[in-house]
């Protein structure tokens, strides 16, 4: 997706603003084109939802009939009254928030799932342990349910460890300081753009023993209390605080249920006996440099796949 690739592209004019008029590499032109295309798509969705509200007269209530954009419309523009304070118009906030949720709730889980499978294929003992846990807790006479995932402690440890080693975004999304402040001994002037190097933070040898090794067991022992929800600053793949990833809850549920279903339902191997390449690409999300090739062989009774 061009949006994700361009979002992670280094643009020289960000560091040397007077070069911007040259548009070296054509990145700014490409970004503007992608922005227009995305705006057309989201505008179409937004207008469709507005028309639906006009026809049905739906504003609040009827929660079962509301999707995300409907809820945003209810919050941002009820009879012309904006319920939150913002410098942007309601349509812009709605489109931007919806796009953030789609990127965080769809792209991020796909990236994280790919890395988790790649790590397991390179660490077959961990893969075997995960399947043994699934067989013990779920059995082989039914499929995994979302309610099962909270009981799969080793699977949850795998998810945490894969997010530690390969966070979906190697850098946090940029934030900007609104006023002068001190962070430790560092003075941060107002208007400073701030990014957190998550990949570096998650491999800090002062916090993690064997930081470059895939060891899910660490989250069952030494780091058992750690979660990925922003409470432990040593592990923040989704960020932390009020402006952390808006799609975190959705992403975690999707990752846990999908990974559990794949490991429970299939024997997972590669076409060759070669280790899976763990090279990374540059972009807003941390994709594998080469596609992951996997063979799935059913391991449950045939009726469960119908």
pLDDT digits (tens, 9 = 90+) for 121-149: 999 999 999 999 999 999 999 999 999 99
38 vs 154 pLDDT, higher one: 154
Average pLDDT, the chain: 87
How far is Cα 155 from Cα 265, in angstroms, rounded to an integer? 14
pTM listed for this prediction? 0.79
Q: How many other C-beta atoms are found inside a 10 Å radius of the C-beta of residue 171?
A: 15
With 60 as the cut, is the pLDDT of residue 83 above it? Answer: no
Which DSSP state fits 186? E
Q: How confident is the model at residue 277 (pLDDT cuts 50, 70, 90)?
A: very high
Domains and CATH numbers, the chain: 1-85 (no CATH), 110-304 (1.10.630.10)
What is the pLDDT at residue 77? 64
Instruction: Please indicate if the annotation marks 181 as binding a ligand.
Output: no
Of 94-103, 124-133, 156-165, 225-234, the range with the lowest mean pLDDT is 94-103
How far is Cα 119 from Cα 259, in angstroms, rounded to an integer? 12
Q: Tokens representing 303?
A: 């009726």
Specify the residue for token string 């079962």: 64
How far is Cα 202 from Cα 152, in angstroms, rounded to an integer? 23
What is the pLDDT at residue 3? 67
């Amino acid at each position: 997706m061009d949006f994700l690739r361009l979002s992670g592209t280094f643009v020289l004019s960000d560091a040397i603003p007077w070069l911007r008029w040259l548009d070296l590499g054509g990145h700014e032109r490409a970004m503007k084109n992608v922005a227009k295309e995305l705006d057309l798509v989201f505008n179409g969705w937004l207008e469709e939802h507005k028309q639906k509200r006009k026809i049905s007269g739906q504003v609040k209530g009827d929660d079962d009939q509301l999707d995300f954009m409907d809820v945003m419309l209810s919050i941002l523009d009820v009879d012309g009254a904006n319920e939150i304070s913002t410098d942007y118009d309601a349509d812009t906030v709605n489109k931007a928030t919806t796009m953030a949720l789609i990127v965080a709730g769809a792209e991020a889980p796909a990236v994280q799932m790919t890395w988790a499978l790649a790590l397991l294929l390179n660490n077959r003992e961990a893969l075997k342990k995960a399947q043994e846990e699934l067989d013990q807790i779920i059995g082989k006479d039914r499929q995994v349910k979302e309610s099962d995932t909270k009981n799969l402690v080793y699977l949850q440890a795998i998810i945490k460890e894969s997010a530690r080693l390969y966070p979906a975004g190697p850098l946090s999304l940029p934030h900007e300081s609104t006023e002068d402040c001190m962070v430790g001994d560092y003075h941060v002037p107002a208007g400073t753009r701030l990014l957190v190097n998550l990949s570096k933070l998650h491999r800090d040898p002062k916090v993690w023993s064997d930081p470059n090794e895939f060891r899910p067991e660490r989250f069952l022992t030494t780091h058992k209390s750690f979660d990925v929800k922003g409470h432990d600053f040593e592990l923040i793949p989704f960020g932390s605080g009020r402006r952390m990833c808006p799609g975190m809850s959705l992403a975690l549920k999707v990752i846990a249920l999908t990974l559990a279903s794949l490991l429970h339902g299939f024997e997972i191997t590669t076409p060759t006996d070669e280790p899976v390449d763990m090279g990374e690409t540059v972009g807003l999300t941390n994709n594998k440099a080469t596609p992951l090739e996997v063979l799935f062989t059913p391991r449950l009774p045939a009726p469960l796949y119908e």
